[in-house]
Structure 1
Amino acid sequence: MPAALLYCADLLRPRRPDEHFAAEAALAAGLGATVALIDHDALTGGDTARAVARVPANLGTAWYRGWMARADRYAELHRALAARGVRLATGPEQYRAAHELPGWHGTFAALTPASRWIPLGQGEFPAADALAGLAGALPGGPGMVKDFVKSRKDEPEAFFVEDLADVAALRRTAECFIGRQGPDLAGGLVVRAFEDFVGIGGRAAEARVWWVRGEPVVVGPHPDHPEALVEPDLMGVTEAVAALGCPFVTTDLAQRADGTWRVVEAGDGQVSDFPRGTDPEPLIRALIGRPLPHPIHRLADEGPRPSA
């Protein structure tokens, strides 16, 4: 197992981890991991030589733990590190498969809302007939739009569609979403069937599960609802994670109104965030090959428990 972790450097203090990751990086170092720093701004700007300049040569195998990067930038990071004798434990194709919905949706199709998608370039909008084709392949009723990685779920006009059969309304929502994403649009447009989930304060209460080598090592709330304590049913999810074949992934689960637990999103664990109050030690121990006291960690504090 790799015993090195690569964190994003602080923009103003490049010899230190970004404040968002500082506590986790300190924990990793305290557990015996080698910690090195990546310049994320240089990475996103395409200057991979500068991005990896502070990573020691011949470090061996490592995990990245930092801000999101486009799949093509991650592939460039992988190549730049390989040239320094550092191998990322998650390969570029594995990263894309876990990070982008088209990569993981087929494996999780029975566990997640039905979805269709279309690749788009920057500033490109889908034609009305293409949108109609996406919507027509989904169950009738309400839906939502997102890109291959992110949604704007706090902005209904850029997220929710009352009736997917209303192609004009779908187009308005899609154009609003694409316009607001701007240069951050990832991959293209996804149209998903809407499912009614149990929530807190008007939003679905999600659990985030962290998987390392196919094992669920941390189960906690989603960062959007750090106060929620939910206990998801992982039936079928373990098999799907194994089938995806990626070494470090997350799954976000929510309970549908009928009581069924559904996978809302999957993601690459390297760029997935921890909510406040969740102890990352079991995850770090799993990543660096230190024994875990328990196979699954859950928050001990009580919180709202949504039920069907």
Structure 2
Amino acid sequence: MTPTIVFCRDPLEPSRPDRAFEAEVAAVETLGLPTLLVDHDALVRGEGADRFARRIEAAATPILAIYRGWMVTLDQYRLLYEALSARAIRLINDPGQYRHAHLLPENEPVLRGYTPRTVWLAGDLGMDRVLEALLPFGDAPVIVKDFVKSRKHEWAEACFIPSASDRAAVERVVGRFLELQGDDLNVGLVFREFVELEPVGTHPGSGMPLAEEYRAFWLDGRLLSWSAYWPEGRYDRPDPPWERFAGVAGAVRSRFFTMDVARRRDGRWTILELGDGQVSGLPTDADAGPFYQALLERRPVDLLPTPSKS
């Protein structure tokens, strides 16, 4: 079945897709894939389906859809999923599948052994509880993020902690991270073992160290497409061994997701994180044409899979 692609409306010209996705829109139009538009801003503001899904008519027969737009929270995705389902339009991932790939603590058990050691906490984020959670790391370096996002472009300020046992450093970096995230904090805090990755350069804007990272999209447990992550980086090594990650990908409870991997300085490979494939961007240098061509050729076959457990 040919999927329908759901884009966000442009905030200035609501009759057209958001300009930020113009390369993907052009690729979709070239291939003749059907499209729909939703109002992301209305969804985020908490307005009803009569606003964020306006002008979307009910389908005569059930259709499969893939959202390609800005990131949304779990509750916002559920509202979007339900609004489209009421119109016989079924997004490829149900809310439980979205949650599984979107939140690191939800999928960490699947990645364990392939990803840096990870701990997390929600609720009380007081410093005593944070330091208790960091005890397994000793005085090793760690990075902090929330359940979805990091502040990697504020690397020294709000991401990297040189020693997990240095209370002053932990307080400084975690405090700044929480300050910058503000109301956008996703659930709680995640701390991850810092692993030395193969360097490929430095980000020209933020000064963040760039590593040899790759993003792969997976569909129904099979590799769909992949590309280097950083356009500013120098990639001159052999391609990632995707076959090593096939078993992990097959265990992920999502039909359409991304897997970011990186080469370590010792030559081994590590999985950095997963993401829902509908809200994960194509790397800047990735060509949207081959991505959508691969999606068209694969044609997701199961329209109404058994919903996952939320």
Same fold (TM over 0.5): yes
Task: State the match for 1:21 in structure 2.
Answer: 21
Task: State the match for 2:206 in structure 1.
Answer: none
Q: Residue 247 and residue 275 in structure 1: after superposition, are their counterparts in 2 closer, same or farther (change >3 A)?
A: same
Task: State the match for 1:52 in structure 2.
Answer: 53
Runs of 4+ in structure 1 over 6 Å off: none
For residues 212 and 176 of structure 1, what CA distance do their matches in structure 2 show?
37
Q: CA offset at residue 142 of structure 1?
A: 0.4
Is the contact between residue 223 and residue 274 of structure 1 (CA under 8 Å) also seen in structure 2? no
Q: CA offset at residue 2 of structure 1?
A: 4.7
Q: CA offset at residue 93 of structure 1?
A: 0.8
Task: State the match for 1:130 in structure 2.
Answer: 129
Q: Which amino acid is 1:69 matched to?
A: V
Is the contact between residue 36 and residue 56 of structure 1 (CA under 8 Å) also seen in structure 2? no
More displaced, 51-60 or 227-236? 227-236
Secondary structure of 1:126's partner? Answer: coil
Unaligned runs of 5+ in 1: 292-308
Is the contact between residue 120 and residue 133 of structure 2 (CA under 8 Å) also seen in structure 1? yes
Equivalent residue in structure 2 for 1:272, among 280, 284, 289: 280
| TM-score normalised by structure 1 residue count | 0.87
Task: State the match for 2:229 in structure 1.
Answer: 222
For residues 172 and 106 of structure 2, what CA distance do their matches in structure 1 show?
27
**1:21-48 CA distances to partner (integer Å, 9 max, x unpaired)?**
1231232233232101111111111114
Task: State the match for 2:220 in structure 1.
Answer: 213
Task: State the match for 2:302 in structure 1.
Answer: none
Secondary structure of 1:154's partner? Answer: helix
Q: Which amino acid is 1:191 matched to?
A: F
Equivalence map 1:56-95=2 (5 Å): 56-58=57-59, 60-95=63-98
For residues 138 and 112 of structure 2, what CA distance do their matches in structure 1 show?
14
Q: Which amino acid is 1:252 matched to?
A: D
Is the contact between residue 146 and residue 189 of structure 2 (CA under 8 Å) also seen in structure 1? yes
1:118 aligns with 2:117: no
Secondary structure of 1:236's partner? Answer: helix
Q: CA offset at residue 200 of structure 1?
A: 1.8
More displaced, 163-172 or 186-195? 163-172
Task: State the match for 1:148 in structure 2.
Answer: 147
Q: CA offset at residue 118 of structure 1?
A: 1.1
1:104 aligns with 2:107: yes
Secondary structure of 2:186's partner? Answer: coil
Secondary structure of 1:111's partner? Answer: coil
Q: CA offset at residue 226 of structure 1?
A: 6.8
**1:107-149 CA distances to partner (integer Å, 9 max, x unpaired)?**
01111111111124xxxx6122311221113364100100111
Q: Percent identity?
A: 38
Q: Residue 225 and residue 47 in structure 1: after superposition, are their counterparts in 2 closer, same or farther (change >3 A)?
A: farther
Is the contact between residue 213 and residue 260 of structure 2 (CA under 8 Å) also seen in structure 1? yes
Equivalent residue in structure 1 for 2:210, among 181, 203, 215: 203
Is the contact between residue 197 and residue 254 of structure 1 (CA under 8 Å) also seen in structure 2? yes
Q: CA offset at residue 101 of structure 1?
A: 0.6
Is the contact between residue 209 and residue 252 of structure 1 (CA under 8 Å) also seen in structure 2? yes
**1:265-286 CA distances to partner (integer Å, 9 max, x unpaired)?**
2111111111233222333234
Secondary structure of 1:113's partner? Answer: coil
For residues 236 and 137 of structure 1, what CA distance do their matches in structure 2 show?
28
Q: Residue 39 and residue 203 in structure 1: after superposition, are their counterparts in 2 closer, same or farther (change >3 A)?
A: same
Is the contact between residue 224 and residue 295 of structure 2 (CA under 8 Å) also seen in structure 1? no
Secondary structure of 2:181's partner? Answer: helix
Q: Which amino acid is 2:93 matched to?
A: T
For residues 285 and 79 of structure 1, what CA distance do their matches in structure 2 show?
28
Is the contact between residue 206 and residue 225 of structure 1 (CA under 8 Å) also seen in structure 2? no
For residues 43 and 100 of structure 1, what CA distance do their matches in structure 2 show?
20
Unaligned runs of 5+ in 2: 202-208, 300-310
